Amino acid sequence: MKILVADYIYTPEGFVEYQAVAFDETIKTVDSLENLLQTYPEAEVVRTAPHSVIYPGFINTHVHLEFSANRTSLEYGSFMPWLDSVIANRDELMQSCDNTMMQQECDNMLRSGITTFGAISSFGTELEVCEQTPQRVVFFNELIGSNAQYADMLYGDFLERVKASQSCPKKSKVTAAVAIHSPYSVHPVILQKAVALAKQHSMPLSSHFLESQAEHEWLEKGEGEFKAFFEKYFNASTPVTNIEEFMHAFDTYPAHFTHAVQATREELAYLQSKGHSIAHCPRSNRYLGCGRLAIETLKELDLPYSVATDGLSSNDSLSIFDEFRAALMLHHQAPLNTLAPQLIKASTQDAAEILGLNCGRIEAGRLADLVVVTLPDLPQSKEEIALWSIIHTKEVAHIYIEGEQIA
């Protein structure tokens, strides 16, 4: 048993002062150190530096580790030139991305306080790293393929990857999951099969969705920048599905839709009515010229969202705190002291609920995934702790995953 003591603890009821958390693999209770020592006299007591805050470990719901080699190869600024550059550079980027590089990025995530991540896997090459990294990983096997002729073959390959991720040893903390690449790139027949598979095995399910304006235009009107793209690469001139049909494919099983920047209020309301959620990638959306997700509309509609870095294919780091700071800048109209706690909640308890994990909250019975943020000075009120944590944190001071000290 361990007892972690800090000036502040972020609980589902908000920040509590001068308390401690007792835990082994799971959290036992939050109480005063004095009371906890009476119940657990043998416990190891860990005291944190002044102005420290204990948070549940942060959850980065969407990252592409396989694209970790990108620095300047891909074109940022606008979605279609970026996609063209992915097609032109993908093989080389995959070649130069080895296990050492991917493990380094897992370590970078960890140092920023990410104890769980959702790995979107196009080829399955990061499975070994995900098994070895100390973090909890939801391993999203990506399905892609819009051409009916090759669809069965691509689905077969996808199934093999799903099976491989299902047979990871339990101690690796890998959960197998399904990622549909997007509405424009997945044929409706294999889409249905993959959704049914996720449902049958109760696997988390996600999809990129309505990221760019071009995507919305292509799916609704069969026009715009995607037309030339599909003609050039796939000899196709009409989309394989439309927005309504695509959304309906997910009607009976909740999914985590990434981006949704270009979704209308009605589309978002529909997603909410079916129990879905959104992964918000502020820097990726800005770097690929996709715009700003109206998170205030998500709030109004009561549509849950998480915060994610996406891959280094559309970002400059995988730090969750870098992402939070970018979100503060991108959503410049939002009051800082309301937005900051929202981002923290989105990346802990909401993300855990979305991914079906028993972490993300500091309360009895939850897995003891905990991180400690040390503020440089005394916050003037509890209402400011979330904001100062976001503004001042580059790395966390302590990390526990399932009760085990990682750093």
Residue 142 binds ligand MCF (CB under 6 A): yes
347-373 residues labelled b (16+ CB within 10 A) or e (exposed): bbbbbbebbebebbbbeeebbbbbbbb
**Shortest CB 142 distance to ligand MCF, Å:** 5
**Shortest CB 304 distance to ligand MCF, Å:** 19
Q: Which does 349 bind (CB under 5 to 8 A by kind): Fe ion, ligand MCF, none?
A: none
Q: What is the CA radius of gyration of the chain?
A: 21
Q: Which does 148 bind (CB under 5 to 8 A by kind): Fe ion, ligand MCF, none?
A: none
Active site residue 211: yes
Q: Which two tokens stand for residue 147?
A: 């051409």
Q: Which residue is nearest to ligand MCF (CB)?
A: 122
Nearer to Fe ion, 8 or 67 (CB): 67
Characterise 244 by phi-psi region: left (phi > 0), alpha (psi -120 to 50), beta (else): alpha
Q: What sections of 3-147 are H helices per DSSP?
A: 33-39, 79-95, 99-111, 127-132
Place of tokens 């973090």: 135
Catalytic residue among 66, 126, 142, 211: 211
Residue 211 binds ligand MCF (CB under 6 A): yes
Nearer to Fe ion, 11 or 73 (CB): 73
At 119, which helix (H) or strand (E)?
Answer: strand 114-121
Q: Which residue is nearest to Fe ion (CB)?
A: 310
**Shortest CB 181 distance to Fe ion, Å:** 9
Of 7-15, 152-160, 306-314, 377-385, which segment contacts ligand MCF by CB under 6 A? 306-314
Nearer to Fe ion, 215 or 310 (CB): 310
Binding mask 166-195 for ligand MCF (x = CB under 6 A): ---------------x--------------
Binding mask 92-131 for ligand MCF (x = CB under 6 A): ----------------------------x-x---------
Size of the site for Fe ion (CB under 5 A): 1
Residue from the set 113, 124, 188, 311 that interacts with ligand MCF by CB under 6 A: 311
Residue 267 binds Fe ion (CB under 5 A): no
Burial class (CB in 10 A: 0-12, 13-18, 19+), 383: middle
Q: What is the DSSP string of 322-379?
A: HHHHHHHHHTTTS-HHHHHHHHHHIIIIIHHHHHT-S-SS-STTSB--EEEEE-SS--
Nearer to ligand MCF, 60 or 313 (CB): 313
Give the span between the Cα atoms of 309 and 283, in whole angstroms. Answer: 7
Of 5-13, 17-25, 166-174, 305-313, which segment contacts ligand MCF by CB under 6 A? 305-313
Residue from the set 208, 276, 280, 398 that interacts with ligand MCF by CB under 6 A: 208
Closest listed residue to residue 216, CA positions, set 244, 190, 253, 188: 244
**Shortest CB 352 distance to Fe ion, Å:** 20
Give the span between the Cα atoms of 113 and 202, in whole angstroms. Answer: 28
Q: How far is CA 102 from the centre of its chain?
A: 16
**Shortest CB 65 distance to Fe ion, Å:** 11
Task: Restricting to residues 297-316, name those near Fe ion by CB under 5 A.
Answer: 310
Query: In angstroms, what CA-CA distances link 74 with 182, 227, 283, 291, 388?
Result: 20, 21, 15, 18, 34
Give the span between the Cα atoms of 264 and 245, in whole angstroms. Answer: 15
DSSP letter at 285?
H
Nearer to Fe ion, 119 or 343 (CB): 119
Residue from the set 2, 28, 51, 64 that interacts with ligand MCF by CB under 6 A: 64
**Which residues are known to be catalytic?**
211
**Interface with Fe ion by CB under 5 A: which residues?**
310
**Interface with ligand MCF by CB under 6 A: which residues?**
64, 67, 86-87, 120, 122, 142, 181, 208, 211, 284, 310-311, 313-314
